[in-house]
Amino acid sequence: MKKIIGIMLAAAALVFTAGEASAQMGKREYINGGWQYNGSVANNFVEAGNGYGLYLESGYYVTPMLAVGGFASFNTNNQYVPKQTYTFKDNSALTTDLDRSLYQVPFGVTLRYRFLRSEIQPYVSAKLGTEYSVQSTYMSTFVSRSDNWGFYVSPEIGLTFFPFPTTDFGFQIAAYYSYATNQNKNYDIKGLNNVGFKLGIAF
């Protein structure tokens, strides 16, 4: 867990650095952050949706419509597996229920295109980067844990809404798909697929 927090702090520093660099150039920068609901699908380990996620992203519009920046997020997905018997290679067996947890920390660069420059700004974006992930299995007698790194890509569609004309404060809503190349032979994980949505604030 300490390693995850350290990675999140480093990634957040990257995002804020991008925001600080662009802040000197007026309102062409943006900062978004908030809560996200992440659904982990088709990964042979945890296939469940949980609302234990946060995100932060920042960028600068190099043209009136096109922005580049950085992002970081954190998700955890948990799944309970009812009691069953597991047989191991040495012919031993264990009957137990278990809890599985999947932690994901992606961060990297983002490219965003907005369709309008108004109070409501629909956009599409693409994120590229790396993902640190931890897979944990909690049984009655022991805990099994593995961590790994992978390449991360995520297309996203959303909008930002600025209801207060005299301020730069607004709101963001978005939906996304993500894929990371993380692998774990112990759990037969050959990539991590996610779908989800985000609700946050915008500056």
- pLDDT category, 107, cuts 50, 70, 90? very high
Highest mean pLDDT among 1-5, 22-26, 49-53, 85-89: 49-53
DSSP-derived secondary structure for 145-172: EEEEEEEEEEEEEEEEE---TTSS-EEE
CATH number, span 2-202: 2.40.160.20
pLDDT band of 33, cuts 50, 70, 90 = very high
Report which of 71, 170, 66, 161 is spatially closest to residue 114, judged by C-alpha positions.
66
Q: How many CB atoms lie within 10 A of CB 97?
A: 12
Identity of the residue numbered 192: L
Summarised one tens digit per residue, pLDDT across range 132-141 is 999 988 877 7
Residue 26 has pLDDT above 70, yes or no: no
Mean pLDDT of the 29-40 span = 94
Model confidence over 61-78: pLDDT tens digits? 999 999 999 999 999 998
Q: Left (φ > 0), alpha (ψ -120 to 50) or beta: where does 91 sit?
A: left
Provide the pLDDT for residue 15: 47
Average pLDDT value for residue range 51-60: 93
Indicate if the pLDDT at residue 22 is higher than 80. Answer: no
Band of residue 6 on the pLDDT scale cut at 50, 70, 90: low
More confident residue, 179 or 82: 179
- The secondary structure element, H or E, covering residue 29 is strand 29-41
Three-point CA angle 182, 185, 190, nearest 5° = 40
Q: Where are the domains of the chain?
A: 2-202
